[in-house]
Amino acid sequence: MRKQIAAANWKMNLTWAEGKKLLEDILAAGISLTENQLAVFGVPSPYLTLADAVVSGKKNYSIAAQNCYDKKSGAYTGEIAAGMLQSVGIKYCIIGHSERREYFNESNQMLAEKLNRCLESGITPIFCCGEALAIREAGTQNKFVETQLKESLFHLSAEQLKSIVIAYEPIWAIGTGKTASTEQAQEMHACVRSVLAAKYGAAVADEISILYGGSVKANNAKDLFSCPDVDGGLVGGASLVAADFITIIQSLK
Ligand code: 13P
């Protein structure tokens, strides 16, 4: 059975004092996650090990990096290698967020390499895909997302694919308060799963967690997560408010 995941993406927000309090407030809710559920916090790089210490020992609570580089090591000032994340005990890394694609020109090909680096280091990538508004308005979103998946994932073996989490984040829904409807989310998630099934077979596709991201809030998480192919969410703004993210975790199937 595939994992149901509430993933926070703090982006470039919060001081460590604020972040620590947020984590502590969320943990204080004492939500016990089932074997099948996971809460992951994508924190800014300087907080990775500090945050990991706060959640350590809490079953199925984990910390994620928000990015890593596509090279193993070397003269890349300011960059962080997947192997470095592994060396300090980090187990997840968000890869290919639309903000990275847009502001840092990350291509599908580069992201394929980042996925390789994560998998070599035993890091579970949370691979983001999703279309801009113009593509949605043109009605070509399925083809667009299919190309993202093919160009970044299809070199992987079925075994490798099974260690990846996918997050569908329509860009028009990110930070806009304009959430995809449950119908739109389910349709795209089913499409993503069918693209994976065509290449890797239905049994493999069925094991992949596909998260929805884009204005997930405390008041819409339950509806979104109840869609059969939506396995939780990748949450920006609402993950910065303890009470909201607690509700979002509690909305997992
Ligand atoms: P919001 O939840 O703020 O729309 O952000 C979504 C997102 O980009 C998560 O990665």
List ligand 1's pocket residues with C-beta within 6 A.
9, 97, 169, 174-175, 213-216, 234-238
Residue 169 known to be catalytic: yes
- CA 113 / ligand 1 centre spacing (Å): 24
Residue 97 known to be catalytic: yes
- CA 146 / ligand 1 centre spacing (Å): 21
- CA 173 / ligand 1 centre spacing (Å): 8
- pLDDT tens digits for 212-230? 999 999 999 999 999 999 9
- CA 213 / ligand 1 centre spacing (Å): 6
Q: Give the residue, by CA position, lying nearest to ligand 1 atom 2.
A: 236
Catalytic residue among 106, 131, 169, 189: 169
- pLDDT tens digits for 72-92? 999 999 999 999 999 999 999
Q: 62 in helix, strand or coil?
A: strand
Spatial separation of the C-alpha atoms in residues 111 and 205, rounded to whole Å: 20
What pTM does this model have?
0.97
- A 10 A CB-CB count for 80 gives 17
Report the pLDDT value the prediction gives residue 40, as an integer from 0 to 100.
98
Spatial separation of the C-alpha atoms in residues 115 and 95, rounded to whole Å: 7
Q: What is the mean pLDDT of the chain?
A: 97
Ligand 1: nearest atom to the Cα of 238: 2
Spatial separation of the C-alpha atoms in residues 72 and 64, rounded to whole Å: 18
Name the band, by pLDDT with cuts 50, 70 and 90, for residue 177. confident
pLDDT at 153 over 90: yes
From 64, 116, 112, 70, select the one nearest 88 (Cα to Cα).
Answer: 64
What does the block give as tokens for 182? 């449950």
